[in-house]
Structure 1
């Protein structure tokens, strides 16, 4: 399957009164045509900054892409002018933000807001744009789209507003859809509906999706591949099966252990990852996760780990995968999660440095 997007050695920094915050530090990944890539991690891990860099939405007054390439349709997006990006943003690459109420203009009807990208990018007439907008509202499952076309954002529920935002994002049939925690502001029932909607729309439209979330459990039935971010870096990336059934990085173990589950004893406490994310004003020496990891080796505090290849699709940035490292098993709670998943398997530990 061909790559539609390639991010290579991406570095993004912000200038603050306290100094330079190195928010993204050498991120590499590719997005394939028609797939969903989930990027997961705690707040402050660099997920949203990475996707905003792809959209070229890093504020120039304080932030900048220091290094790296973002290759899309034969172009490096980091080299394009603002006017050139305007032709890509919303048309070729669209974004769904976390809070639908702040994404919508409260003074405009939702119909006009959906028509806007249709008229700007697809050059449709008012009549054609209105017809297409109503089709989009129907596509995202909004009841009575013809009647609700003239209503304002405050007249809709949170879940309905998010459906409208999705309709706007899909208006120009983008090749890539970036969803930045699109369900966080919604209750669990509506969250499930929105996730199912996005999965269904992706199959119909063959749009590639980058799905950002802090909740690893959200992506289990949505993603094809998962990238785990910590301290501005991708520490593990693999297929959804590899991440859920065969996780190798201690941080991924921590995220899995902190997921609520109906299957585990309800009297058992959720396992929290100790400590706090690193201060990226002064990025730690060695492995950024070492101070929070009970599995940290002496080398973790001295040298940054290389990336090891578990399989063609599974890469892990951890000294624990070095051939001379002690053999370490995931904690029991993570093993429980793996055993409870259907079709679980255990691959042999065959890795090489890449």
Structure 2
């Protein structure tokens, strides 16, 4: 029996605008296994959130899913009616948004809001819903839950509000939890607490998580696998260790070089030159070519396929073609890999 919880197959999403058709997501495929955390990373506008909103079927009126399938335990949720989809949202797939105040009603006490999330999907009594609400608040670390359940969202800090939203989306023990930049608006200490909370809750209820972020530092602490998106496509996907210590796509190299570290001996951060492309008219070649210092003539002509590096690691760059010249990743990334291999006892210098 397959342990695949969710499978996205060749999804393409576009938006109709006054300027024309924006091809926001282009032929994206990935799978999510039971109990796994898959991080989707990339710059703003790369298609991360649109992909996940397509999974929830919460796209704007001017959006259309032009191709593909989204299979939840084998069922294509793009082919079901809205009434059935409303049952799936929250019950089977739930989403935590970046700003908790967009998910909370400022005029309602938080306890009542969580109770409504429970009774919407479960046939339980008012008393059972209240007990479950208090249990959820305690589970996400809201102390004195009985008293605090009678308070309004504005009476909580940003981190506490995010905890409350997590309690709401976990009310029905969803099979898949999508977390859309849930720590971006929080300070570093609170970010770590929310990540630890998600990891603990995942083990407790055995849910699968899709974690959307632009911060690779966050990914290192939460993900089992990582998908790197650029210009609406997945350009590299693999186990977290493969992406962090053996990246193969120049865009992934740039993202990793952009990460600040404690041992940096410079006052300036590295940034990837240039800007993401205009997706009104996607290039017939590699969309990253104008920003890629290793670009070749073929990059201007043809879009690269996903080359297989291992059973779990793939990257879409012509540098992996057997005819391409050998190109080493930046020195900082080579050093990072050597340190990882030394810690793992795999470094040849240890032999």
Q: TM-score, normalised by structure 2?
A: 0.96
Within the alignment, does 1:13 sit opposite 2:14 as a pair?
yes
Matched, 1:240 2:237: no
CA distance in 1, matches of 2:325, 2:242: 21
- How far residue 56 of structure 1 moved from its aligned partner, in angstroms, is 0.3
Shift of 1:334: 2.3
Retained in 2: the 8 A contact 1:159–1:186? yes
Quote the Cα distance in structure 2 between the aligned partners of 1:286 and 1:193.
42
**Per-residue CA distance 1:258-312 (angstroms, 9 max, x = gap):** 00000222x2521100000010011122101000000111100000101111000
Shift of 1:340: 4.7
Aligned counterparts of 1:274 and 1:77: Cα–Cα separation in 2? 39
Q: Do the aligned partners of 1:110 and 1:150 also contact (CA within 8 Å) in 2? A: yes
Q: Runs of 4+ in structure 1 displaced over 2 angstroms?
A: 333-347
| RMSD of aligned Cα (Å) | 1.5
Q: Where does structure 1 lack aligned partners over 5 or more consecutive residues?
A: 348-354
Q: Is 2:198 aligned against 1:198?
A: yes
Residue of structure 2 equivalent to 1:213: 213
Query: Distance between the aligned counterparts of 1:85 and 1:294, measured in 2?
Result: 45
Give 3-state SS (helix, strand or coil) of 1:90's partner: helix
Which runs of structure 2 are paired with 1:68-87 in the superposition (5 Å)?
A: 68-87=68-87
Aligned residue in 2 for 1:286: 285
Does 1:183 find its partner at 2:183? yes
Aligned to 2:313: 314
Alpha-carbon distance between aligned partners in 1 of 2:321 and 2:236, rounded to the nearest angstrom: 15
What is the CA–CA distance in structure 2 between the aligned matches of 1:343 and 1:77, rounded to whole Å? Answer: 44
C-alpha distance 346-279 of structure 1, shift in aligned 2 (>3 A):
farther
Distance 1:53 1:229 in 2: 15
Contact map agreement 1:216 1:259 (CA 8 A) in 2: yes
Indicate conservation of the 8 Å contact 2:6/2:70, yes or no. yes
Equivalent-residue separation in structure 1 for 2:195 and 2:163 (angstroms): 11
Is the 8 Å Cα contact of residues 35 and 224 (structure 1) preserved in structure 2?
yes
1:15-30 equivalences in 2 (<5 Å): 15-30=16-31
Partners of 2:101 and 2:199 in 1: CA distance: 22
Structure 2 vs 1, CA of residues 88 and 25 (structure 1 numbering), >3 Å: closer, same or farther?
A: same
Q: Size of the alignment, in residue pairs?
A: 346
Structure 1 CA distance, aligned partners of 2:26 and 2:345? 33
Q: Decide whether the 8 Å contact of 2:4 with 2:73 is kept in 1.
A: no
